[in-house]
């Protein structure tokens, strides 16, 4: 059973960078079995796929967020990290990390095999 846990600040000021970490247990992030993603859900809106990192380290980004988004891995800690720069109040959302057995950029709950519980991030001064 794969388990994912998000961690990071709950409040970020506008124009600052947001950094969130997903700690994975039950599987290695370097296994070929899974792809690791970040998805977010702004209040009152649907889920939005942001980025995915493969077991090889290859990264994939949403075109609408690519200029501000970076995903990285710490294989020694079995973690992967999202960085989102120049945040605005529109980046306020619940942020989730998730795992899927195939490469894909979907947003639906059922698209992923495992989800973290999500972490609320509010962008406000």
pLDDT in tens, 63-118: 999 999 999 999 999 999 999 999 999 999 999 999 999 998 888 889 999 999 99
Q: β-strand 35-41 against 48-53: which pairing, if any? A: antiparallel
Least confident of 12-16, 30-34, 58-62: 30-34
Residues 6+ apart with CB under 8 A from 121: 8, 9, 10, 11, 12, 18, 20, 91, 92, 93, 94, 95
Q: Would you state the pLDDT for residue 33?
A: 86
């Amino acid at each position: 059973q794969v388990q994912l846990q998000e961690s990071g600040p709950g409040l970020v000021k506008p124009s600052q960078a947001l950094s969130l970490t997903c700690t994975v247990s039950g599987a290695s992030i370097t296994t070929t079995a899974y792809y690791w993603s970040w998805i977010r859900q702004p209040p009152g809106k649907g889920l939005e796929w942001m980025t995915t990192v493969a077991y090889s380290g290859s990264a994939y980004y949403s075109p609408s967020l690519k200029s501000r988004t970076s995903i990285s891995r710490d294989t020694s800690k079995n973690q992967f990290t999202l960085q989102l720069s120049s945040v605005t109040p529109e980046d306020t959302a619940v942020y989730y990390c998730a795992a899927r057995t195939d490469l894909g950029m979907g947003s639906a709950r059922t698209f992923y095999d495992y989800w973290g519980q999500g972490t609320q991030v509010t962008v406000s001064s």
